A and B are shown apart, each in its own frame.
Chain A
Amino acid sequence: MTRDRIELLLSIADDELFLGWRNSEWTGIAPFLEEDVAFSSIAQNEIGHARALYELAAAELGTTADELAFDRKPEEYRCAPLVQLRRLEWARTIARHWLYETADEIRLAALKASDDPEIAGVAAKIDREEAYHRMHAEMWIDRLLASEEGRARLNEAMDELWPYALGVLDDELRPELRRRAQERLGRTLADVEPIPRGVHEAELAELWQEMTAVRRSAPAGSQW
């Protein structure tokens, strides 16, 4: 039970940490200034969610959120391959953003119904913030779908990321993601093998190097 609980918390926390990090790769170079600020702010929120989840796991493991976030080895992270991919071009970034937020909404709905009050509570809190991320993702999808070029680019990105998106969720939640994605795009998505959690893309180790560089440069127990 406890093992499963920690596994669950770390999976979601790692997703949020890596996605937050990946999205922040747009800081300073997003398509325009306003989007830069908004997308960076969303990235910071994701990292805030990661921290809340790490703290729950840390309380149980007798460690700290920072240690969980930065002191594990790359192969110990549980994040879905979808969030490991390095900064994608903009249509793919939006496709990943929408796919992740939609998968996350499905996952959070299940967690809010959890009989573990701590998990249900943190899921509800996260979901209240994610509502704004979804608004942001939805408006971009509408924007891309509104032009022929946008639609073509979005569809290409969705096809490419679809097996990754399925991998964010457990088996039983995947049909709901497919239903929502197909309805949103107005077309069928391929019947593909999901790229599941536990697969480590080469980009993960690379990002880990960058993400933990400051932490590793300081002696253990340093106070900031």
Chain B
Amino acid sequence: MIYEVFRQERRGQPFQHAGSLTAPDTRFAEIYAREQYGRRQESVALWLVPREAVREIDDFPDEFDLKYRRVDGYSIKTRLREARERAGTLETAPGAEE
């Protein structure tokens, strides 16, 4: 069985994927996760998830190119520049020298 291991570095922080390990069952996986991701006190907690329990989604259709929904859809920098040009404040704007 393959287990995915997530570790938390400090209380309150999000768990992050640390790696995976192979073990015959959960009991072995627990011992192995503890030794591989905890023996140097690098984690305060671990999550152990059988890989089978992970549902992967990797298809995201975008047939009509809806750029405006994407995080990187607009370049704010360009738009801001255009707006400042229109307003005639380009030279006085913060960071204008760059």
A contacts, CB < 8 Å to B: 32-35, 37-38, 41-42, 132, 135-136, 139, 143
Contact = CB atoms under 8 A, between A and B. Distances in A.
A139 B36 contact: no
Interface of B: 21-24, 27-28, 31-32, 34-36, 39
Main secondary structure of the interface of B (DSSP, over half): helix
B34 A34 contact: no
Given A135-B31, A136-B31, A34 B21 contact: yes
Contact of B39 (A33, A41, A136, A143): A41
Given A32-B22, A34-B21, A132 B34 contact: yes
Contacts of A37: 32, 35-36
A27 to B, nearest CB: 13
Contacts of B23: 34
A34 B22 CA distance: 7
Q: Which 3 A-B pairs have the closest CB atoms?
A: A38-B35, A34-B32, A41-B35
Given A34-B36, A37-B32, A38-B31, 7 more contacts: A34-B22, A34-B23, A37-B36, A38-B35, A41-B35, A42-B35, A132-B31
B32 A139 contact: no
Nearest to B36: A37
Contact of A139 (B21, B27, B39): B27
A139 B22 contact: no
A64 B28 CA distance: 38
B30 to A, nearest CB: 8
